[in-house]
Amino acid sequence: MLSFTEFYSWLSIRPIELLFILFGWLIFSILVVLRYDFDLQLITNFHLFLPLFLTNAIHFYFILIVLLRLWFEQKQRPSLTPAYTYRLIVHKIFTHVPLVICLIVFNTLLY
């Protein structure tokens, strides 16, 4: 079984952050099913992708606050600032790349 410390050291993402991301994808997938299987035209593309954008914004805000804190306390802990900069890059990879792929796939499926 994978412990929390191993999970964090390998992926540089905490389990609560992963839970936010997975919760956003769960709501997104429920909205996709409601829109296309039950033919609900009330759900627009904006409503469809809103959970992904909101979880992404919350996650980014959390990482940015921690990075700014470490930036201002750099004299006490200078080695942690590059680690959180790395986490921002990993955050972009884990959340933006799948989101862009989803947008491209839906765009090709709709037209």
Residue-level pLDDT at 26: 93
Model confidence band, residue 11 (pLDDT cutoffs 50, 70, 90): low
Q: Which two tokens stand for residue 39?
A: 């033919």
Tens of pLDDT, residues 30-46: 998 888 888 788 888 88
Domain count of the chain? 1
pTM confidence score: 0.61
Residue-level pLDDT at 98: 73
The position carrying tokens 């992904």 is 52
Tens of pLDDT, residues 54-82: 888 887 787 778 777 777 776 555 566 67
| Whole-number Å distance between alpha carbons of 60 and 95 | 10
Q: Is the pLDDT of residue 111 over 70?
A: no
Q: Structural domain of residue 53, as residue ranges?
A: 4-110
| Whole-number Å distance between alpha carbons of 12 and 20 | 15
Higher pLDDT, 1 or 5: 5
Residue-level pLDDT at 14: 74
Residue-level pLDDT at 77: 59
Asked whether 88 and 67 are in contact (CB, 8 A), the reply is yes
Residue-level pLDDT at 79: 61
Q: How many Cβ atoms from other residues are within 10 Å of residue 43's Cβ?
A: 15
